[in-house]
Amino acid sequence: MKKFFVLFFSIALLTACSEDEEPTTDPVLGTWFVTEVNNVPGSEFTLSQCNTNSYMTFNAEGTTNSVFYTEIAGTCTAGTQMDSEWSKNAIIYSFNIPIPELAAINPVFGTIQFNGDTFTFTPTLFPGTTIVFNKE
């Protein structure tokens, strides 16, 4: 009986212990620079060379910080840092985009397509609009 108990306990212990799974990290985490903006609704916005210094940092705790660069009097100037939150529900991401022309619709909900060190964000409300980011 004692052997049966030891055998049963050993089997139970082995099946109950499994290797700890590594937590999955979202590929959006990190610092991303705006490299392309297409078809902003109701705007003639075009991305300048200065604007491509603009970035967003997505943090694991669901926060972001971002800075939008714009040319003022011939000088590429950083705007005020914007801190906000980001989230993901299934395949839909939500975050504030630092581009002033899109501030009225923040937070923006949409899908992200990852391709190596690039992601393309397509807002749900404006499927013809895309914003491309490259990872630092």
Query: What pLDDT digit, counting tens, does each position of 76-111 carry?
Result: 999 999 999 999 999 999 999 888 877 888 999 999
Backbone angles phi, psi at 58, to 5 degrees: -100, 120
**Is residue 124 a contact partner of residue 101, using CB atoms and an 8 Å limit?**
no
Residue labelled with tokens 């910080």: 65
Q: What is the pLDDT of residues 52-71, one digit of tens each?
A: 999 999 999 999 999 999 99
Q: Which two structure tokens, joined as six digits, stand for 71?
A: 């040319």
Confidence label for 49 from pLDDT (cuts 50, 70 and 90): very high
Q: What is the pTM of this model?
A: 0.79
- Mean of per-residue pLDDT scores for the chain: 85
Confidence label for 21 from pLDDT (cuts 50, 70 and 90): low
